[in-house]
Amino acid sequence: MPESSVQPVLPPRTGKILLSLAVPFYNEEEVIPLFFKEVIGALEVIPHLEFEIVCVNDGSRDQTLAHLVWHASLDSRVRVVDLTRNFGKEAALSAAIDESRGDVVVPFDADLQDPPQVIKILVEKWREGYDVVLARRNNRDSDSVLKRWTALVFYRLHNKLSEVKIPENVGDFRLMSRQVVSSLKCLPETRRFMKGLFAWVGYKTTVVDYTREVRAAGTTKFSGWKLWNFALEGFTSFSTLPLRVWTYAGSLIAVLSICHALWLTIRTLIFGVDLPGYASVATAVLFLGGIQLIGIGVLGEYVGRIYFESKKRPVYLINRGEQNP
């Protein structure tokens, strides 16, 4: 959310703090050496700061886990959490936040598209008294035109449908106080849309703008299909309007049907009965059938969420093997 024109007077925070960098990893072996070099270098220059890097291996199929464990053996500030399988980024991010012990927690991507140097500015804003400091991309030039356009449509549409507004061009990269993290950990849902949950908890918030870089190494793990499903997860997590709209659609179709029936009655009384046409009947049946199937599909999305939530399965499982520090 944007800063208001009248800034509140907040008590400053001083003294040494522990910062937890919460980082999910999935098949990121190519970027890991550069990641630790860049991140540790950026964190070590922040005054009055101790830090830990909580690395969650989300069921990687390459040598990601081995690289992480090796770096953890060299630096006690690196902690490795190994999930039993690939649970997805939202679950891995939840695990990283849950395992963090810092006074402040910063969710961060392993691909280094978010410059770690921005973390120093986030900490400075937190010291001014804010509980949440959002990192907002001032441009998306590193993304394709299609991805920029679909992201814009998603944010605009989501904020129209949902009472919980997600700030545009703000991803997971942000700083949160321990109080905010404790509130997040109290939320019970297992199908987690983290951007929405971050916005839902509220607290005193400010924004820092930055320029996002291109991916340092490797390839993105989000295909167009995964992004589409991710968007559906966001819509159904924080709005029931997609359900309610079918009440209005059904009412409109019913009114139009009544008007059409009245027109047929009047026309028959004036001009008599003509030969009925099969094309109009087939068109009407197919149209109404398609509308009904779409409505059932939307209803199914919500029923599916209820089904998964009712099982009360954990969001993720951690492999507590001896290889994990």
Tell me the pLDDT tens digit for each residue of 109-149. 888 888 888 888 888 888 888 888 888 888 766 565 656 66
Tokens of 117: 């140097």
Concatenate the DSSP letters of all residues of 123-157 into one string.
HHHHHTT-SEEEEEES--TTS-HHHHHHHHHHHHH
What is the reported pLDDT for 145? 61
Tell me the chain's radius of gyration from C-alpha atoms. Answer: 25
* Nearest alpha carbon to residue 239 among 188, 297, 278, 196: 196
What is the reported pLDDT for 21? 92
For tokens 């094309």, the residue is: 279
Q: Which residues of the chain have pLDDT under 70?
A: 1-14, 140-164, 214-248, 250-251, 253-255, 257-258, 260-261, 264-265, 267-269, 271-287, 290, 307, 309, 321-325
- The identity of residue 76, as a single letter, is S
CB 294 within 8 A of CB 253: no
* Nearest alpha carbon to residue 17 among 52, 53, 42: 52
What is the reported pLDDT for 260? 67
Residue 135 to residue 202: CA distance in whole angstroms? 16
In CATH terms, 17-219 corresponds, of 3.30.230.10, 3.90.25.10, 3.90.550.10, 2.40.50.140, to: 3.90.550.10
Torsion angles phi and psi, residue 170, rounded to 5? -115, 120
> To 10 degrees, the CA torsion angle through 290, 294, 295, 301?
160
3-state secondary structure 210-221: ECCCCCCCCCCC
